[in-house]
Amino acid sequence: MLAINVKNLSKKFGATTAVDDISLEVPEGTIFGFLGPNGAGKTTTINILCTLLSPSSGTAFIAGHDCSREPSKVRKSIGIVFQDTTLDKDLTAYENLMFHAYLYNVKKKEMKGRIHDLLHFIGLYDRKDDLVKKFSGGMKRRLEVARGLVHRPQVLFLDEPTLGLDPQSRALLWEFIVELPKKHNVSVFMTTHYMEEAEVCNDIAIIDNGKIIATGSPAELKKTLGGDVIYVRTSDNKSAKIEIENLFDVHVHEKNDELFLTALRGDACIPELINSIGETVLSVRLQRPTLNDVFLKMTGRQIRDSDMTSNDTVKESIRAYRRKLDRH
Ligand SMILES: Nc1ncnc2c1ncn2[C@@H]1O[C@H](COP(=O)(O)OP(=O)(O)O)[C@@H](O)[C@H]1O
Ligand SMILES: [Mg+2]
């Protein structure tokens, strides 16, 4: 069964089409990355999949349940980590998890064991009795991931989980996220605008202006760029250029006294290249394409890093979700 199955989903806010006819499939047990710049439609999509918003058209199924027709079943199947923290800062880490366990009717005799296991998993067991307001941003985010797992969901949604964290905390959080499918039997749907983070995802969709403009594994997407770039400096560029062009049957360019060519498996070409023009080689370097390059190619723009601030829309979604949970 698919963890997530979305077909022709759209969401309009008045004249704005926030999500524009998107389709995607997330197989069970995988990590799916939803990438795009600010305002692309990522949070709106998550809100629809989490049953906080209804779509204008199209369908979405989570673990086989229809988001429009079976919202309570969907809600039981998912965990959510919102873009902005929703922890209760005046409770301890342990109390935050307990509170969530009660909300989701986790069996009393299982609560303690589960919460202890999760606190160990995120490396916060020793801090379990500290108030959350004393925690760093990274610790809070890890605790939110743990909270999202307390009721054993089938799918965990993470909206910009590493936003605002320092590089070290981001790296640490990633160590936990990549282990989730195996250790917690959960599929992960996460958004980010840090392209390099998406490298660990099994599959990716790039969204821009509400439309999915590319999907595939990180390797597949990077392949569309035509492969690696090999840069060579030699003592005799003129003859080296001819030699390399004959060797690989490609066009070799020259810029700033450096020759360069594109190759699908650049690393495998280097030994041959050195064999052929060995004596004149001064240096060789290989540049692998990044997901940033993919985004640049698809949109003609760099993904923006600067303006990812929290907004009222997100805060309102959280309040709405809490209200729904309370009624639930
Ligand atoms: N409740 C809302 N009312 C009106 N417009 C909205 C609302 N929520 C989001 N939008 C608009 O939809 C677009 C997508 O927003 P969003 O899904 O938050 O993007 P992202 O999470 O990728 O930054 C933006 O243009 C945003 O202003
Ligand atoms: Mg967002």
With a 6 A CB cut-off, is 39 part of the ligand 1 pocket?
A: yes
CA distances from 264 to 31, 161, 228, 248, 324 (A): 26, 33, 6, 11, 51
Q: Atom 8 in ligand 1: which residue has the minimum CA distance?
A: 313
Find out if CATH 3.40.50.300 is the number for domain 2-221+302-327.
yes
Compute, in angstroms, the gap from residue 40 CA to the centroid of ligand 2: 8
Provide the 3-class DSSP secondary structure of residue 184: helix
pLDDT digits (tens, 9 = 90+) for 172-224: 889 889 999 999 999 999 998 888 788 889 999 999 999 999 999 998 998 88
Listed in order, the ranges of the chain carrying CATH 3.40.50.300 are: 2-221+302-327
Q: What is the pLDDT of residue 308?
A: 36
Measured from the Cα of 53, ligand 1's closest atom is 1
Listed in order, the ranges of the chain carrying CATH 3.30.70.260 are: 226-288
CA distances from 215 to 126, 228, 255, 274, 280 (A): 41, 20, 33, 36, 42
Compute, in angstroms, the gap from residue 39 CA to the centroid of ligand 2: 7
Rounded CA-CA distance 233/326 in Å is 66
Question: Do residues 231 and 266 make contact, with C-beta atoms less than 8 angstroms apart?
Answer: no
- Residues facing residue 215 across a β-bridge: 205
pLDDT digits (tens, 9 = 90+) for 296-314: 778 777 665 433 333 444 4
User: Cβ–Cβ contacts within 10 Å for residue 28, how many?
Assistant: 15
Phi, psi of 305 (to 5 degrees): -105, -15
With a 6 A CB cut-off, is 37 part of the ligand 1 pocket?
A: no
Q: What is the pLDDT of residue 230?
A: 92
Q: What is the pLDDT of residue 328?
A: 52
Region label for 283, one of left (φ > 0), alpha (ψ between -120 and 50) or beta (otherwise)? beta
Of 105-119, 268-282, 303-317, least confident by mean pLDDT is 303-317
Average pLDDT, the chain: 89
Helices (H) and strands (E) in the chain, counts: 11, 14
The pair of three-digit structure tokens given for residue 35, joined into one six-digit string? 């990438």
Compute, in angstroms, the gap from residue 15 CA to the centroid of ligand 2: 19
Measured from the Cα of 45, ligand 1's closest atom is 17
- Please determine, for residue 239, whether its predicted confidence score (pLDDT) is greater than 70: yes
Rounded CA-CA distance 79/122 in Å is 16
The architecture CATH gives domain 226-288:
2-Layer Sandwich (3.30)
Compute, in angstroms, the gap from residue 83 CA to the centroid of ligand 2: 7
Q: What is the pLDDT of residue 196?
A: 79
Question: Do residues 253 and 218 make contact, with C-beta atoms less than 8 angstroms apart?
Answer: no
With a 6 A CB cut-off, is 42 part of the ligand 1 pocket?
A: yes
